[in-house]
Structure 1
């Protein structure tokens, strides 16, 4: 097993290459340990962490190998995140944490909501709502981009996808934040509080479900589940698990990439100038911003058999953690990977949505929402000027922002 001696600033007694430590992401200090892993031990065994022992997969090629072998590296056997199930935990099955064939059947139920034709159908609505928000923003006055733009746009989209009562849409953000915080796995009191909030989520959605039973199909996710053989008979916990998956997936990926647009281009003004001069770069810039941000830092698999990965012996039952946040900074694939380059030739090769059978089912919608935001900003010749450092989330799963003070100006 690859083991390394280091002299970084980790707390004494901890492995400095344990990249599951939440403070690395809160403080934006994750770059150096991952750089060392990519250079010296792309598949590295961390013997001790808050989440137990695990293998770190930090470079592009071996991560793709894990994603491409779902029968060797199971999503279902240990769950989809680095946090293990604990004795007494309430299990909430969801299709991203299932193996074939059940995963395939449930994914097919949801997939029609995200087809190219559905993206065409939704584009005008997304553009209208984006325009309304942008037209309401002040110029030359500081406000929080995260709450005013990123959260509001993504929460509105979730409410439409679920046919969720508009006046209660911020409940979706609240539930998403609680569900996506895997650090809670190490805090029994917080785990109970989270469970209470998620039960409230389940009860609310069960009422929505009941209101649609025996009704004609409609193009929302609840109706699609009701009218499918694969999902119409879910028990309460499976129903809740899939809701959490769709809420977190639809909320965190898009919202944090929208904030990366505001924050990241301010860090690279020459790239912002390229984009302002040539709006034709927006589609490519959208992919580059998603790569640079990588809103979900990792996914986890569990080995179903003894195998070898990049020269390391993986044993049946081992926890294998794929660090998308690191693979998307792999210099062998993305030169100058720490920079945003809006015309990067291979930006679409990023792994922020995963790869293979578990690739994010809503990727097209996330791309559409972000690109429309960039297009509408360009139409108004609006520029985001960051007024202070962001407040980042603490945790190794959702890599995001809580606050970002900005001002708008025109160019």
Structure 2
């Protein structure tokens, strides 16, 4: 991995730093929430921008909504293989997963597990989610400060994930840990070394291999592991590929919803007028959910690798070049979204956002994520006048998972 020699972006003025020096991948921009002015500058002056030196090597930034859509839809020119994150995979530790594959293999593997979020299955899950949400909320202390991320965001998404995998409920926090380890290396403070990270991911594989073996012989279950064990396209996966797809399903089922649950509380606290609007009209919740997901953009980027030369916005992309589609920027692009820097819970066309991706890789669990958030806010509004944010949130030092590790709140009942 190349050593970063660019100056720290957080110390520079986004308006005057030379364009060629801008490196929006720097973690400090994300942990301190200072990236948006840099993205605005790139969208206005260099929508397809080349960063020649970064911690992750050279890369192109694609920052406008329409350009991101163009790259997303053209998998023939921009491949998801070998990885969908800015960081290159370790050569001796590759984790193949269907999101980092192109058709036809991508389509076959995705189809195997898609049934878990089919409309009928979602319908069956609704009452389970609601009763869990009710239990979690009723268990919270009133008038006392606590960490919303841990007590609500992580707890709800981890319970949901345990249900989708039919994973032993008492061990469900292992899923949270594996999700954090999968998306965060030593530089994020999650693990102390790359060796520790691998060890913990192999523990994950070992645990899930036992579950696979139990289910392989027991008919067609409708949990994710049974689907993988019986699916034509997945039943003969090697262990690394099984681990890769587990990581994908754990992170996909966890991080997006978890960080939207926290981000929604922050957005409403920063916009008291919108919070009042919600109190006066709870029927706006389904629309607000889409606005929260846009506003938070829980996965900040997806990466593609050019497989052929291509001209995008007048820039010559060469085969082999790395392109980073910054969803966090596309979702704030005033060319595609009206007043994008404002949080508006009754926004028209609120579902027009990039947070779930687009094209063949569009997030498989998007409806499940929306449903969890909708039910959560319906139940919150029945119980609490306000979730008051105390102090500033702690953000994860990651340019991929756009998330939070701590949000101190106090609940005020009606």
| Structure 1 and Structure 2 fold alike (TM over 0.5) | yes
- Residues 342 and 167 of structure 1: CA distance in aligned 2, closer, same or farther (over 3 Å): same
CA distance in 2 between partners of 1:267 and 1:30 (Å): 18
The offset of 1:208, in angstroms, is 0.6
- Residues 16 and 289 of structure 1: CA distance in aligned 2, closer, same or farther (over 3 Å): farther
1:350 aligns with 2:353: yes
1:92 aligned counterpart, secondary structure: coil
The offset of 1:219, in angstroms, is 1.5
CA distance in 1 between partners of 2:230 and 2:157 (Å): 26
1:30 aligns with 2:35: yes
1:133 to 125, 133, 136: 136
Equivalent residues in 2 for 1:26-105, closer than 5 Å: 26-76=31-81, 78-87=82-91, 89-105=92-108
The C-alpha deviation readout for 1:115-136, integer Å capped at 9, x for no partner, is 1111111000000000011111
The offset of 1:399, in angstroms, is 0.7
The C-alpha deviation readout for 1:321-374, integer Å capped at 9, x for no partner, is 000000001112222212210011121011001000000111111111011101
CA distance in 2 between partners of 1:140 and 1:185 (Å): 33
Residue of structure 1 equivalent to 2:330? 327
Residue of structure 2 equivalent to 1:124? 127
Number of equivalenced pairs: 405
- Residues 342 and 189 of structure 1: CA distance in aligned 2, closer, same or farther (over 3 Å): closer
CA distance in 2 between partners of 1:67 and 1:302 (Å): 11
- Residues 128 and 7 of structure 1: CA distance in aligned 2, closer, same or farther (over 3 Å): closer
Residue of structure 2 equivalent to 1:18? 23
1:395 aligns with 2:412: no
2:351 aligned counterpart, secondary structure: helix
CA distance in 2 between partners of 1:372 and 1:47 (Å): 45
CA distance in 2 between partners of 1:94 and 1:243 (Å): 8
Residue of structure 1 equivalent to 2:4? none
Equivalent residues in 2 for 1:11-410, closer than 5 Å: 16-76=21-81, 78-87=82-91, 89-181=92-184, 184=187, 190-410=193-413
- Residues 8 and 190 of structure 1: CA distance in aligned 2, closer, same or farther (over 3 Å): closer
The C-alpha deviation readout for 1:283-303, integer Å capped at 9, x for no partner, is 000000000000100000011
The offset of 1:85, in angstroms, is 2.4
2:149 aligned counterpart, secondary structure: helix
Q: CA RMSD in A?
A: 2.2
- Residues 187 and 346 of structure 1: CA distance in aligned 2, closer, same or farther (over 3 Å): closer
1:9 aligns with 2:11: yes
Residue of structure 2 equivalent to 1:3? none
2:11 aligned counterpart, secondary structure: coil
2:375 aligned counterpart, secondary structure: helix
The offset of 1:275, in angstroms, is 1.1
Q: Which runs of 5+ in 2 are unaligned?
A: 1-7
- Residues 188 and 159 of structure 1: CA distance in aligned 2, closer, same or farther (over 3 Å): closer
TM-score, normalised via structure 2 length: 0.94
2:388 aligned counterpart, secondary structure: strand
- Residues 105 and 144 of structure 1: CA distance in aligned 2, closer, same or farther (over 3 Å): same
- Residues 210 and 7 of structure 1: CA distance in aligned 2, closer, same or farther (over 3 Å): closer
Greater mean alpha carbon deviation, residues 110-119 or residues 65-74:
110-119
The C-alpha deviation readout for 1:294-317, integer Å capped at 9, x for no partner, is 010000001110111111111111
* Preserved contact between residue 130 and residue 373 of structure 1 (Cα < 8 Å): yes
* Preserved contact between residue 185 and residue 191 of structure 2 (Cα < 8 Å): no
Residue of structure 1 equivalent to 2:5? none
The offset of 1:195, in angstroms, is 0.4
1:141 aligned counterpart, secondary structure: coil
The offset of 1:187, in angstroms, is 12
Q: Which runs of 5+ in 1 are unaligned?
A: 1-5
The offset of 1:14, in angstroms, is 11
* Preserved contact between residue 109 and residue 225 of structure 1 (Cα < 8 Å): yes
The offset of 1:319, in angstroms, is 0.3
The offset of 1:9, in angstroms, is 2.4
